[in-house]
Amino acid sequence: MNERNEGNAFMAKIRGHYTRAEKGGQPFKAGIILFMQTLTQEALWQALATIPDPEIPVVSLVEMGIVREVTQTPTGEVTVTITPTFSGCPALEVMKTDILTRLKQCGVPDVTVRTVLSPPWTTDWITEAAREKLKSFGLAPPPHHGGDFAILLFDPVPCPYCDSQNTTLKNNWGPTPCRMIFYCNQCQQPFEQFKPL
Ligand SMILES: [Zn+2]
């Protein structure tokens, strides 16, 4: 057992006693087990990976690249750093509440959500798995641009339904500022693209 694991086991023991006291002296072993799990970075990320993006629930906050960092103090206080897709996005409060609720459900007693706007969120942070999910949701995923937006002007946007590149931009502003509306000349369906940022 390395130092970190020993520390985790020790904290779990403390938490276990604390939980027993809360429950009026009744042993409450589930609390101990959950707490041990949440003390690993992996478990924290796994818990966060179950939180859907409030605007596109087929993908998670982690897959969208919104969760930037998860840190933990030796006494178990967790800080989650997020960069929202748009500043002033109304979904921000929903995301914060969802993160607090989920981690507390997993036995983390003290959670802080920190919002960082710089560097700004970019669609390049969306994972490959999320791009596939967006596509099956009928939303053309944003292409990788590495900061060079000029290349996007010449790249065709493939239709998420039939993969045809014979598509036409219909409207720069879709139902939300992050989406553009296209029309597929092949399967004759309108579709939205997640606007590259
Ligand atoms: Zn099509």
Segments of the chain with pLDDT less than 50:
1-3, 5-7, 10-38
pTM value is 0.74
Q: Quote the ligand 1 centre to 158 CA distance (angstroms).
A: 8
H/E/C letters for each residue in the chain?
CCHHHHHHHHHHHHHHHHHHHHCCCCCCHHHHHHHHHHCCHHHHHHHHCCCECCCCCCCECCCCCCEEEEEECCCCEEEEEECCCCCCCCHHHHHHHHHHHHHHHCCCCEEEEEECCCCCCCHHHCCHHHHHHHHHCCEECCCCCCCCCHHHHHCCCCCCCCCCCCEEEEECCCCCCCEEEEEECCCCCEEEEECCC
**pLDDT for position 48:** 97
Q: What is the pLDDT of residues 95-124, one digit of tens each?
A: 999 999 999 999 898 999 999 999 999 999
Which class does domain 3-115 fall in?
alpha beta
Q: Quote the ligand 1 centre to 31 CA distance (angstroms).
A: 51
Mean pLDDT of the chain: 82
Q: What is the pLDDT of residues 80-96, one digit of tens each?
A: 999 998 755 678 899 99
Q: Quote the ligand 1 centre to 138 CA distance (angstroms).
A: 10
Range list for CATH 3.30.300 in the chain? 3-115
